[in-house]
Amino acid sequence: MRRRSVLATIAAASLPRRTRAEDLPPLRIGVLGDPTGIGASSSGAPMVMAAQMAAADFGPLPDGRAIEILSAEFRLKPDDALAIARHWFDALSVSAITDLPTAAAAVAVQDLARRVGRIVLNTGSINPALSGRSCATVATEWADDTITLGNTLARGLAADGVKTWYLIVPDTAISLAIQHDATQAIVAAGGRVVGISQHPAGLASFAAPVTEAAQSGAQAVGLCGIGDDLAGTIRQARAGGLFTTTRRLAAFAASIGEIHAIGLATAQDLLLAGSFYWNENEPSRSFANRFTRATGRMPGKSHAATYAAILHYIRCVVSMDSLDADKVSQEMRRAPVYVFGRTGRIRLDGRVLLDMTLYRVRDPAAATNDWDCYEQVRTIPATEAYRPPAQGGCSAAP
Q: What is the pLDDT of residues 108-125, one digit of tens each?
A: 999 999 999 999 999 999
Q: Does the residue 13 lie in any domain?
A: no
Last residue of a domain, one of 335, 354, 373: 354
Do 163 and 216 lie in one domain? The reply is yes
Q: Does the residue 236 lie in any domain?
A: yes
Last residue of a domain, one of 354, 377, 393: 354
Listed as ranges, residues in the chain with pLDDT below 50 are 1-19
Compute the distance between CA of residue 383 and CA of residue 273 in angstroms, rounded to an integer: 15
Do 235 and 365 lie in one domain? The reply is yes
Q: Helices in 62-170 by DSSP H: which ranges? A: 78-91, 103-116, 146-158
Contact 320, 331 (CB under 8 A): yes
Q: Does the residue 7 lie in any domain?
A: no
Do 79 and 108 lie in one domain? The reply is yes
Q: Does the residue 393 lie in any domain?
A: no
Q: Does the residue 289 lie in any domain?
A: yes
CA proximity to 359, closest of 259, 273, 246: 273
Do 33 and 116 lie in one domain? The reply is yes
Q: How far is CA 52 from CA 48, 253, 323, in A?
A: 6, 26, 19
Cα 273-45-344 angle, rounded to 5 deg: 40
Q: Does the residue 32 lie in any domain?
A: yes
Do 170 and 267 lie in one domain? The reply is yes
Give the 3-state secondary structure of residue 65.
coil
Do 138 and 230 lie in one domain? The reply is no
The reported pLDDT for the residue numbered 9 is 31
Question: Any idea what the CATH number is for the domain that residue 338 is in?
Answer: 3.40.50.2300
Instruction: Please report how many Cα atoms fall inside a 13 Å half-sphere around the Cα of residue 263, on the Cβ side.
Output: 5
Do 259 and 371 lie in one domain? The reply is yes
Do 365 and 260 lie in one domain? The reply is yes
Compute the distance between CA of residue 385 and CA of residue 398 in angstroms, rounded to an integer: 19
Structural domain including 169 reads 147-274+356-385
Contact 270, 250 (CB under 8 A): yes
Determine how many CB atoms are found less than 10 A away from the CB of residue 178: 27
Do 88 and 235 lie in one domain? The reply is no
Compute the distance between CA of residue 138 and CA of residue 315 in angstroms, rounded to an integer: 16
Q: Does the residue 122 lie in any domain?
A: yes
Q: Does the residue 197 lie in any domain?
A: yes
Do 344 and 376 lie in one domain? The reply is no
Do 210 and 224 lie in one domain? The reply is yes
Amino acid at 108: A
The reported pLDDT for the residue numbered 22 is 63
Do 155 and 77 lie in one domain? The reply is no
The reported pLDDT for the residue numbered 12 is 33
Overall number of domains in the chain: 2
Give the 3-state secondary structure of residue 129.
helix
Contact 357, 274 (CB under 8 A): yes
